[in-house]
Amino acid sequence: MRVALPPAQVEEIRFKEEHDTPNNSLFSFAVALSDDEEVASRQITLSSIPDDCAKLESIQTLLQDDISRLVEDASPIRQLLSEIRGRVPEEAEEALVPAAYIESMRIPVFKALRHMADRAKLAKAREEEDSCKHRAQEVHQRISFLESSRPDIVGAIDRLKRRRAKLAKEMEQVTKAIAAEEKRLQDLPSVIAELQ
């Protein structure tokens, strides 16, 4: 599909095509300049890759640091980000910008940190409460066991008392038997003397 141009424009285009050579073309300088800039840009980009990686690793190290320090002073991240700006993918830069200006989030960050600390304290208190409940249950079970063993203990005491009474009677009989044998032993010389 061709667009119809006015005759004056057609004549002007034909004139430019006849007089333009590759060296004096309307776009030859711009293209050549663009190619030179692109090569230089690539050389700068390739030579800065190790440096940019090191700076990104430094940013990563800073981001892994204590957040309460970052919200007080994120200037090291900002400085590193400004040094690599435009040489890293836009997504990476977009992700790092909020971290570089985290000081503006100081109050919400501290609120979140306090909230996390409160949650940790609450969790610890619940653990301690659960532990105390568990110990109380163990003590209650032990008390219940001891209270339920009361009749057994009373029964054992009664059996032992009956046995003691029985043993006391036996002891009395044994004592009498010993006394009788001792009397016989004592009387033995006089009985022998009578028999002689």
Q: Could you report the per-residue pLDDT of 148-182, keeping only the tens digit for each?
A: 988 999 999 999 999 999 999 999 999 999 999 99
pLDDT of residue 123: 95
Task: Out of 14-23, 24-33, 135-144, 184-193, pick the least confident.
Answer: 24-33
For 186, the domain range is 155-196
What CA–CA distance (Å, rounded) separates 172 from 176? Answer: 6
DSSP letters, 128-177, are: HHHHHHHHHHHHHHHHHHHHHTHHHHHHHHHHHHHHHHHHHHHHHHHHHH
Which residue is it, tokens 């109380």? 136
Is 45 part of a structural domain of the chain?
Answer: yes
Q: How many domains does the chain have?
A: 2
Half-sphere exposure of 127 (CA within 13 A, CB side): 6
Under DSSP, is residue 61 helix (H, G, I), strand (E, B) or coil? helix
Q: Domain end: 67, 100, 133, which one? A: 100
pLDDT one-digit tens code per residue, 27-50: 443 444 344 444 444 444 455 577
Inside any domain, residue 132: no
pLDDT the model gives residue 7: 66
Confidence band for 187, pLDDT divided at 50, 70 and 90: confident
pLDDT at 14: 65
Residue 5: the pLDDT is 57
- Rounded to the nearest integer, the mean pLDDT of the chain is 79
* More confidently predicted of 57 and 135: 135
Judging by beta carbons within 10 Å of its beta carbon (0-12, 13-18, 19+), is residue 80 exposed, middle or buried?
buried
135 assigned to some structural domain: no
Residue 70 has pLDDT above 90, yes or no: no
How sure is the predictor about 16, in pLDDT bands with cuts at 50, 70 and 90? low
In a domain, 165, yes or no: yes
Question: Is 54 contained in some domain?
Answer: yes
Look at residue 137 and tell me if it is in a domain. Answer: no
Domain final position from 67, 83, 100? 100
In a domain, 34, yes or no: yes
